[in-house]
Amino acid sequence: MWHWSKLSSVKWLDAWEERFYGNPNSVINEIKGGKSIRVEVYSESKEEAERIQEQFGGSIRLVKEQNWAALSDVTRPPLKIRDALLITGSREGGAVRELQKEHPKRHVIRMPAEMAFGTGDHATTSTCLRLLVDVSRERKGSGWQMLDLGCGTAVLAIAARMLGAEKCEAHDFDPQAVRVSEQNLVLNKVDGIKVFEQDVLKWQPPKQWEVVVANLFSSILQQAFTTIEKAMKDDGDFIVSGILFEQWESTRQAAEAVGLQFSKVIRKGKWVSARGSK
């Protein structure tokens, strides 16, 4: 087993929490004094640890195998989204088939905890999924397409396809997110989704979509609203998340400045998610 670790300022705690949320092999500890944190991830292979190091810096080392067993023996119940989706971290095909038998009316999404990403159960992602279910039901039979900005594991794009989207595009600035997303498309046997490595702040939409979802930190989101507005059809819906409560008001103002309006705002703990339109 390999161990990656990095010291970081406590002000980045929220960013690290969201990055690794749902990953049972990650640990975040506050250093005595309250100004710094140590972020750690345990991985099965040196290659995986090196990929994290390449992306985020920090250091890696080889550790004893018995520590890995204690960390990896973590099971979480499947995440239920409305009465439509069931997200499981199980890697076992038999377990997934049993879940499908137990919940025949739900779409089962396999989202194993990866070394650099969680499984979709962070408050921001799970709320986006619930809002996406609502949008899909309102658009049932209308031939809608979806754009996912900041896709992470592509769980939102995968969910959209299962909920009726004809096609999806999934973008992320992080090449590792693109790699993980493409693996998850294969794992879930879904087609009709294209994944791109893309910087939302430099990208110009070549077309418009009926549904746009952006789960991004508010500092990025506020700058991206102009792009989101351009990417939406006039009767389109957008869903945003990744917003800390204390940053909600400035985020709302930035959206309204480019002609976007919010119809539903949801707070879960310190995070805010919202749905809106032009």
pLDDT of residue 43: 81
pLDDT tens per residue across span 175-222: 888 988 999 999 999 999 999 999 999 999 999 999 999 999 898 999
Instruction: Return the percentage of the chain with pLDDT > 90, whole number.
Output: 59
What is the strand order of the sheet 168-172 is part of? 193-197, 168-172, 146-149, 209-215, 232-244, 271-277, 261-268
pLDDT > 80? residue 120: no
The H-assigned helical ranges of 12-164 are 13-20, 46-56, 65-72, 93-102, 123-138, 155-162
| 37-51, 67-81, 100-114, 126-140: range with highest mean pLDDT | 126-140
Rounded mean pLDDT of the chain?
A: 88
State CA 112 to chain mean position distance: 13
- Beta strand 2-9 with 232-244: parallel, antiparallel or unpaired? unpaired
pLDDT of residue 113: 65
Which residue matches tokens 């194993």? Answer: 112
pLDDT tens per residue across span 35-76: 888 888 888 788 888 988 988 899 999 876 544 444 444 456
Nearest Cα to Cα of residue 120 among 145, 85, 155, 150: 155
Under the phi-then-psi rule, with left for phi > 0, alpha for psi from -120 to 50, and beta for the rest, what region is 46?
A: alpha
Distances (CA, A) of 20 to 88, 171, 268: 16, 19, 18
pLDDT tens per residue across span 240-274: 999 989 999 999 999 999 999 999 999 988 899 99
